[in-house]
Structure 1
Amino acid sequence: MVLGIIPARYASTRFPGKPLADIQGKSMIQRVYEAAQASKLMEVIVATDDVRIAEHVQNFGGKAVLTREDHPSGTDRCWEAFTSWAETHQAPESVQYVLNIQGDEPFLDPIQINELVDALDGEVELATQMIKVTSAETLHDPGEAKIVLNNKGEVMLFSRQAIPYLRNYPPQEWHLYHTYYRHVGMYAYRTDILQAITQLTLSSLEKAESLEQLRWLEAGYKIRMVETTYDSPCVDTPEDLEKVLKYLNA
């Protein structure tokens, strides 16, 4: 079985209180929670460091777990939330995977969650999703993590740089001659792997690219990639929220 966890911090640097932001009568965190509830996940909980978020989730009928404030990543928050959840439930060993769901994607589609859940066969250690790159702008955007795959559908490398380098074509045309993918969406962790990766220290590749998943690769863990066509917008700033509201009101 797969447990869904939505990490939700209140003190976001760029958008404090973001999970509680109103989007046409529902908070961002409620929209994400309801999408997750409509998927194949056995249960969904919000992992938060703030009692205001926890109370809000409980008020709309959701489940929330309070976690420490000082977690360096959503992965660490997921591990604490899972251990807290396991202490209050019978047979927690029946949960084989934890799915880390981004709490700032209010238009997440349950089908996207199901695509990832369907790939979790017990052998997979870690899994996440990718989508094809269709423009030079996206390919060369350092804000997008590109992916190099092996022939088993596992990641060889994540990079903000476009890899491979196509030496016989201009960079603005690379995506026309090679299939590139970029990272999107959620992370699925087998529970024993989730515990293990939270014990890892900062790696050299992670430090260079500022991508947490490189720490796992550098330590030798395998990450299965699942292709998707769903690409829900992420709300990082108040300006992003304004764009979303204008789109909905159009």
Structure 2
Amino acid sequence: MSFTVLIPARLASTRLPNKPLADLGGLPMVVRVAQQARKSRAERVVVAADDASIVEACRAHQVDVVLTRTDHATGSDRLAEACEQLGLDGGDVVVNVQGDEPLIEPALIDACAEVLGRCIGCVMSTAAHAIDNIAEFTSTNVVKVVCDASSRALYFSRAPLPWWRDGYRDGVSALSTPAPLRHIGIYGYHAGFLRRFPTLSQSPLENVESLEQLRVLWHGERIAVHVTDIRPGPGVDTPEDLAKVRAHYESLRA
């Protein structure tokens, strides 16, 4: 199916200033992400930048880019503006690949687009994989998703869900069956909904959990979930993450 990858790139970062321009094996991170996304079946890969320096870096490496406003509250708001600039609307499918995921699997991008196309009534799609260790399950930094019988999201939470009533009575010492699901931060949208998203009021649950996707469920819309066996490559949130990913690219040069 035909779809466009949009990569939001914001220059400001609390833990990693100028993160989109961080050097990874001789190329800016945002360029690495775009190059990886090009390995998917996307018809087009476009960076949605908030600063002229990101635009310059992208153009220097033949990466499509649009310059968006600096005052967007969320990445989805930035992508909505990018959709307007690119003339995307209605049933056009957009996949949001995060700008700090240079090692994302191209097949995961394709799957996120395909599951949205198959799931009638869903305005968004995302992905998840089974959790296989207790530390991930209990971490508030790991977002969990619970799905219905048709693999549509019922809820996302930083809490350990689902809660095994009998098995977790004395604490979490083993995981339930079937395994809990870890949410992967990749999203597919129908462009018409993505352009409408900024007009939706924030939900109380979104504010409590700090999870933007809960706004979608709060307003009665559905999110399709692709459950994969593929764990995503490491993202870059901290200086330690950056060092690990840099080491990966240096190993490819060796």
Aligned to 1:119: 115
Over residues 52-93 of structure 1, what are the superposed CA-to-partner deviations in whole Å (9 max), with x where a residue is unaligned? 00011011011110000011111000010110111xxxxx55
Work out whether residues 90 and 192 of structure 2, in 8 Å CA contact, stay in contact via their aligned partners in 1: no
Is 1:199 aligned to 2:199, yes or no? yes
Over residues 164-201 of structure 1, what are the superposed CA-to-partner deviations in whole Å (9 max), with x where a residue is unaligned? 22121134234243420011131111112112222112
Amino acid at match of 1:144: V
Superposition pairs of residues 1-250 of structure 1, within 5 angstroms: 1-86=2-87, 92=88, 96-121=92-117, 123=120, 124-170=122-168, 171-228=171-228, 229-249=230-250
Work out whether residues 144 and 182 of structure 1, in 8 Å CA contact, stay in contact via their aligned partners in 2: yes
> For 1:184 and 1:239, how far apart are their aligned partners in 2?
20
Greater Cα shift, 167-176 or 110-119 = 167-176
SS at match of 1:118: helix
> For 2:80 and 2:217, how far apart are their aligned partners in 1?
19
Gaps of 5+ in 1: 87-91
Task: Give the TM-score, by structure 2 length.
Answer: 0.91
SS at match of 1:104: coil
Gaps of 5+ in 2: none
Work out whether residues 40 and 117 of structure 1, in 8 Å CA contact, stay in contact via their aligned partners in 2: no
Greater Cα shift, 116-125 or 61-70 = 116-125
Deviation at 1:133, TM superposition (A): 0.3
CA-atom RMSD, angstroms? 1.7
> For 2:125 and 2:160, how far apart are their aligned partners in 1?
21
> For 2:86 and 2:219, how far apart are their aligned partners in 1?
27
> For 2:135 and 2:172, how far apart are their aligned partners in 1?
8
> For 1:116 and 1:81, how far apart are their aligned partners in 2?
19
> For 2:95 and 2:117, how far apart are their aligned partners in 1?
14
Deviation at 1:99, TM superposition (A): 1.0
Amino acid at match of 1:70: D
Which portions of structure 1, spanning 4 or more consecutive aligned residues, are displaced by more than 3 angstroms? 92-95, 246-250
- 1:93–1:160 CA distance, 2 compared to 1 (3 A): closer
Work out whether residues 112 and 230 of structure 1, in 8 Å CA contact, stay in contact via their aligned partners in 2: no
Aligned to 1:89: none
- 1:118–1:169 CA distance, 2 compared to 1 (3 A): same
> For 2:34 and 2:247, how far apart are their aligned partners in 1?
23
Deviation at 1:94, TM superposition (A): 8.1
Greater Cα shift, 191-200 or 127-136 = 191-200
SS at match of 1:226: strand
Greater Cα shift, 92-101 or 63-72 = 92-101
- 1:27–1:139 CA distance, 2 compared to 1 (3 A): same
Amino acid at match of 1:84: Q
SS at match of 1:175: coil
SS at match of 1:151: coil
Over residues 104-153 of structure 1, what are the superposed CA-to-partner deviations in whole Å (9 max), with x where a residue is unaligned? 01111211111112213263310000011000000000011101111111
Work out whether residues 132 and 182 of structure 1, in 8 Å CA contact, stay in contact via their aligned partners in 2: yes
Deviation at 1:243, TM superposition (A): 2.5
